Structure 1
Amino acid sequence: MVALAKEKQKELVEAEKYVSEVYEAIKERNPHEVEFIQAVKEIFDSLVPVLAKHPKYIEHNILERIVDPERFISFRVSWVDDQGKVQVNRGYRVQFNSAIGPYKGGLRFHPSVTPSIIKFLGFEQIFKNSLTGQSIGGAKGGSDFDPKGKSDGEIMRFSQSFMAELGKYIGPDVDVPAGDIGVGAREIGYMFGQYKKMKGAYEAGVLTGKGVSFGGSLARTEATGYGLVYFVDEMLKHKGLSFKDQTVVVSGSGNVSIYAIEKAHELGATVVACSDSNGYIYDKEGIDLDTVKRLKEENSLRISEYVEEHPHAEYKEGCSEIWSIPCDIALPCATQNEIGEPSAKLLVANGVKAVGEGANMPSTLEAIDTFLENDVLFGPAKAANAGGVAVSSFEMAQNSSRVSWTFEEVDAKLKETMASIFTNSIKEAEEHGVPGNLVIGANIAGFKKVADAMIDQGVI
């Protein structure tokens, strides 16, 4: 027994040494890509147990291979605004890993988009896509173009110019982009039209998030928010808890937030707060979802307008203070790094029981440590918000077979997928000596499938 324990300790030390060496090399090669380095560290730290247990991953140098994109594409996007002036933006696509299927990942149009943001999102996408159980690789893309305040004509001309370049590198069996922040059905429609014109063919499976009338899937709009709540519900049930009668705080007020609120309400919770980039509202009686939908989906107004219709509610400028509101369940659905260590400590002090990440990397590494150290149930983004890409893959399947599924069929498959992701993640955590740690469990579950495929396909 002593000899066995010493051998295991030796394997752990070797795995930690390998991880540290590769991580330091990545930092040196990407010195200014803060978000990408953060994502790499979060995943690498989780993989030490599986590398120690399966040294083949070290022998095949999987970490150094998986952390470098297969391809990073950067291009100019020139377009003409309504005043006839030529504008120039930058476009990006990172085709990160295709070991288990064609590249798959969203497009983000937002002024914050940089190579670091695109790489962090694409790297996370590898493992998220793997967790869904579907045959899709990891990718991400976008532009520093800001759709806010632009006319439909300007957005159409930009989207067409963007696709005129991106279209050279994608295809139904090559790379299948989808929407993300700033890219909804409108933008996807414009890009699909441009791609169709370029190719002279109707390749429905080249983009997901399309309008239902031309190949889109029902429940795609709701997918990420619903999937988040389904995943958190599995976490709660595992501990004998539920959403019923719980107080919930949700950041953001886009699709993910709106449909997370909707599903949480259906499961008996009371959502008391949500936000946008200017500030947040607190309604102790429970957020009126119809009002939020009308403000954000129909009229593109600010969330501050909510208090005009519900004067008993409060509006506060700034977003970070939303986490000072006592709640049982926190669902960060706005943007990366919105919960830092101080906010995490405040949530813990106020008795939070569970945190589910609806946005990509919304919690800093220090915040995640705070939750785990205080036994807060924590659903990491790559697992908890995988519902969007899961339904995107369902759209691909429908396009391939030329059929359409009902909303109920898609929703049932989504719920089943989120339950499977939870089960696989909790199982891997248990098997690798960290029971209940879904960060490590999800990272290992996503990693193993991709790493095994990379080994089987040789050094390419």
Structure 2
Amino acid sequence: MTAAIHPRLQPHFDTVIARNPGEAEFHQAVFEVMQSLSPIIGKFPAFAQWSIIKRLCEPERQIIFRVPWVADNGEIQINRGFRVEFNSALGPFKGGLRFHPSVNLSIIKFLGFEQVFKNALTGMPIGGGKGGSDFDPKGRSDGEVMRFCQSFMTELYRHLGEYTDVPAGDIGVGGRELGYLFGQYKRITNRYESGVLTGKGLSWGGSKVRTEATGYGTVFFAQQMLATRGESFEGKKVLVSGSGNVAIYAVEKVHQLGGTVIGCSDSNGYIVDEAGLDLDLLKDLKEVRRARLSEYAEARPGARHIADGSLWDVPCQIALPCATHNELPLDAAKSLLDNGVQLVAEGANMPCTPEAIDLFREASVLYAPGKASNAGGVATSALEMQQNASRDAWSFEDTEARLEQIMSDIHTRCVETAAEFGAPGDYVTGANLAGYIKVADAMVALGVI
């Protein structure tokens, strides 16, 4: 990690490290925020006090539990479940559930910490949290996934509620998993409390645009960034890492705005299609057949699949990392710069390493951190909560218009905050300070709790 933390804040960061040993991802997330806090020491000294920072870096509640379930072959399986309820100063805890073998406490804490500031930037009344399990739904039957989800919710339900904690989906948790989770919650509580989970199916309380929201929102934010330099997506070559929900709908919106996505990736490599990705084929592969991207190249003339190397070696003007944390390291950032990248906007959570971020900022590349650029998903989850509370359902067009306005407002908030604190055009400073100040102000108002 190259850039320094202010000397007055360094002891606080050292204490966070000491209190949370071995949690590298959480340390990185805290570091990236504390890097930006120097300007508030003079202007808002109360917000830079250890009493605020210490509470912000300590979750209100950390829940770890055993998840036993029975596989189709009759063998008993054991996974570990997590829910980190990080900060509720602005509203009920809000953040997704991730089912992936890599899940551990450090990853859930980093995601929850990021979520606090991301949710603050949306302007919606929601706090931050995150959860999940090291369960891998890939290759599991529907029955196995159902039994796991039911066991997971049997423990988690007691900590949830529309005014307490409202999970959503994340990696490995889509409509199928959310359906099983909500069904078990309804069965245990004997309540149809539709506002307790978001990302639900449209026939049982979900919101239109929620599926598309994170990907669409990332592109809307990038569109606002380009506009500051008199540019647009028209005619631009774009790379989108990943091929899950966020990536697919980022591709869709880029194409709608006149750009051409020429590559995406999965865990087995990446594809390059200079003519522009065939979105129907991509959706069929990933959303219907749950197949590998190598099959895209087999079905699409002119496309090629590369099993080794990095997607970020492909020349482009715009890069949208939408896969997972730390997927874009320093060498990838150098490759992007050498090939003329103009803008990087994070669709995933913390996909760029600190060294890569420093390089982009030094090169004056337009760079947006995920807590700003990928906030569209949780913002639309909050809109889903509104619809559930009012027993209403909005049209796709109305909901998308609200999402676009929210992303525009986040962009404005970041730009104005960065300028206010002497860092014009720096989205990292703008996003971190705007989110931090809003949460810290609420925490001061609520007292020591």
Map of 1:4 onto structure 2: none
Aligned residue for 2:261?
271
Partner of 2:327: 338
Give the drift of 1:333: 0.4
Which residue type is aligned with residue 397 of structure 1? Answer: Q
What is the 5 A alignment of 1:161-200? 161-200=151-190
Name the residue aligned to 2:84. 94
2:350 matched to 1:350?
A: no
1-structure distance, mates of 2:135, 2:288 = 22
The answer as to whether partners of 1:18 and 1:58 remain within 8 angstroms in 2 is no
TM-score, normalising length: structure 2: 0.98
- CA deviations 1:394-438 (Å, max 9, x no partner) are 000000000000011110000000000000001000000111000
Structure 1 vs Structure 2 CA RMSD? 1.1
> Which residue does 1:7 correspond to in 2?
none
Residue 6 of structure 2 aligns to a residue whose secondary structure is: helix
Residue number among 115, 121, 130 corresponding to 1:140 in the alignment: 130
Q: 1:57 — aligned with what?
A: 47
Which residue of structure 2 lines up, in the alignment, with residue 112 of structure 1?
102
* AA aligned opposite 1:128: K
SS in 1 for 2:8: helix
Equivalent position amino acid for 2:378 in 1: V
Q: Which runs of 4+ in 1 moved over 3 A?
A: none
User: What is the total number of aligned residue pairs between the two structures?
Assistant: 446
Paired letter, 1:372: R
Contact 2:47–2:437 (8 Å) recurs in 1: no
Amino acid at match of 2:223: D
- Give the gaps of 5 or more residues in structure 1: 1-12
Deviations 1:32-51 (A, max 9, x none): 00000000000110111123
Moved more, 280-289 or 137-146: 280-289
1:404 maps to 2:406: no
Alignment partners' CA distance in 2, 1:401 and 1:176: 17
1:301 aligns with 2:300: no
Matched residue, 2:20: 30
Q: Which of 401, 404, 408 in structure 2 is aligned with 1:419? A: 408
From 304, 310, 324, give the equivalent of 1:314.
304
Matching residue within 374, 383, 391 for 2:372: 383
Structure-2 separation of matches of 1:112 and 1:393: 27
Which amino acid in the other structure matches residue 227 of structure 2? K
Structure 2 Cα separation of the partners of residues 369 and 197 of structure 1: 49
- Does the Cα contact within 8 Å between 1:234 and 1:422 map onto a contact in 2? yes
Please state whether the residue corresponding to 1:88 is helix, strand or coil.
strand
Q: How far is the alpha carbon of 1:60 from its aligned partner?
A: 6.6
Q: Is 1:128–2:138 an aligned residue pair?
A: no
Change (3 A) 1:455 1:323: same
Partners of 1:211 and 1:70 lie apart in 2 by 30
Residue 244 of structure 2 corresponds to: 254
- 1:387 maps to a residue whose letter is G
Letter of the structure 2 residue corresponding to residue 67 of structure 1: C
The separation in 1 between residues aligned to 2:363 and 2:397, in whole angstroms, is 38
Q: CA–CA distance in 1 between the matches of 2:7 and 2:126?
A: 31
CA distance in 2, matches of 1:357, 1:59: 30
Residue 203 of structure 1 is matched in structure 2 by: 193
2:420 aligns with one of 431, 439, 454: 431
Identity of aligned residues (%): 58
Structure 2 residue matching 1:17: 3-state secondary structure: coil
Determine if contact 1:60/1:455 at 8 Å carries over to the other structure. Answer: no
What's the TM-score once normalised by structure 1's chain length? 0.96
Gaps in structure 2 of 5+ consecutive residues: none
Distance in structure 2 (CA, Å) of the matches to 1:60 and 1:26: 11
Q: For each residue in 1:226-277, what CA deviation from the matched residue of structure 2 results, as whole angstroms up to 9, or x when unmatched? A: 0000000000001111000000011000111111001000111111000111
| Structure-2 residue corresponding to 1:3 | none
Q: Which amino acid aligns with 2:271?
A: I
Contact in 2 for aligned 1:279/1:317 (Cα 8 Å): yes
Measured in 1, the distance between the counterparts of 2:47 and 2:216 equals 35
Q: 1:351: how far off? A: 0.5
How far off its partner does 1:59 sit? Answer: 4.2
Instruction: Give the 3-state SS of the residue equivalent to 1:210 in structure 2.
Output: coil
Displacement after TM superposition at 1:307 (Å):
1.1
Distance 2:25 2:61 in 1: 19
SS of structure 1 residue aligned to 2:38: helix
